[in-house]
Amino acid sequence: MSLTPDPASFRDPAGRIFTKNKRIFRLVSARGAHNYQIVRDTKFISKMAGLDKIIETLEVDPSIIDDPDLTPHYVLEHPRLPFISYPYEWCFPMLKKAALLHLELQLQALDEGLMFSDASAYNIQFKGTQPIFIDSLSIQPYRDGQIWEGHRQFCEQFLNPLLLRSLMGITHNAWYSGNLEGIPSGELSKMLPWYKKFSRNLFLHIVLPSRLNNLAKNEKADTLSSMSHKLPRETLTKIFTQLFTWIGKLEPLSSSSSIWGDYSSIHCYEPEEVAEKQNFVSNFIQKTQPEIVWDLGCNTGEYSELALRSGAKQVIGFDFDQLALEKSFERAERNCLNFLPLFLDGANPSPSQGWNCQERKSFLDRKNADAVLALAFEHHLAIGCNIPLDQLIDWLINLAPCGILEFIPKEDPNLKLMLRRREDIFDNYCEDSFRNILEQKCRIICSKIISKSNRTLYWFERPTS
């Protein structure tokens, strides 16, 4: 059977990623073989893999591929990551952590006489809260005097999205998701107030490169190549170190306007109601024993943590509120949880996009949950975005074979707030319709009213098809 490469693995002719029997292989071509040998012999990758900073790479017998059309020089095997996430789904601290890992690896690689050929943020994934570099072939031998070819990419995919939030309080996710190469320096430069352009780091990394780029546009290629002087290695080290220090100090511009970041202190449950909700969720996890749980509307990660403590192996949380995501990530780091909180606009989930609409997979294409939690989530879509209840329930129950859905009735103070300034056009939005639709589509194992306003939890199980 002939193998097809992963749709995201086409840029680098040195190698391609293939999946065979759920195992991940990287096939090194003749073009990439020489560099690979040099890098492998430095032991840099294995040393960093030992520290969980670069994904483990094992050389395996090429005959394992067994495809006459493929004649790789080397075949490498990587462990399969349970979930691939993208920088446009990360919150600020995650992108910052990924950026710092990239720079740290660049610095250490340079000590070993190596250099990264690019600076793609898509080459970093998260294992729990730890970023890990996954593209071993983009590490190459350092050539004396070479410039940092990934500088522009680093700025656009890591630095500029961080600056957008840090300097202007604008979150990067929507822009990044619409422009997969990140936030262009030229665009960011236009948004900077003129006096900020004098700041040393902003000038050197954002303003100057974009201006010089425009300036050089009408130059002939020969004139430019005659200008490419050698860059001293110390300068390269200095650039990485300065960026590391600068990014390490970046923080999101303080904002008090997040609705859900304060959720834990503003939600409308009495203490005994909270206990009941927790018992219901905990009991569900213990009985169903899911390995991977998706927590939609994870908020500050309270129930994601509970799911993990009740036996789940990994939780992938989704929320649209940045502050809530940041608090979730902080919780995951503080309590060492295998919890990955990601940005999701439920009414507009990440699409399949990039080259041939396949390079980056959609939210649904990455579905891997054994159970789903959608606690105090449905009303944001049903009322907030006018999604019909039957379509919404369909979407939710198809995310995993079982789960818990919480229904918020119109009498609930939060829902009243949502309907306060708009016409109530939701004639069918009531507990009875919710239950009826759910019953038609799956089995309700049990349900429980958990608040004075009649918020109700439903434990559902989808019939296996």
Partner 1 sequence: MKHVFFFFIFFVIFVEPVYSYLDPGTGSMLAQLVMGGVAGVLVVFKLYWKKVKSFFIKTNSNPEKDDTSQKE
- Residues in contact with partner 1 by CB under 8 A are 147-149, 151-152, 155, 185, 194, 197-198, 203-205, 207-219, 224, 227-229, 231-232, 235, 238-239
Choice between 204 and 364, CB closer to partner 1: 204
Least separation in angstroms between residue 161's CB and partner 1 is: 17
Least separation in angstroms between residue 83's CB and partner 1 is: 31
Choice between 5 and 354, CB closer to partner 1: 354
Choice between 232 and 349, CB closer to partner 1: 232
Choice between 210 and 350, CB closer to partner 1: 210
Least separation in angstroms between residue 155's CB and partner 1 is: 7
Choice between 1 and 221, CB closer to partner 1: 221
Least separation in angstroms between residue 189's CB and partner 1 is: 9
**Cβ-contact 394, 388 below 8 angstroms:** no
Choice between 227 and 336, CB closer to partner 1: 227
Least separation in angstroms between residue 172's CB and partner 1 is: 19
Least separation in angstroms between residue 157's CB and partner 1 is: 13
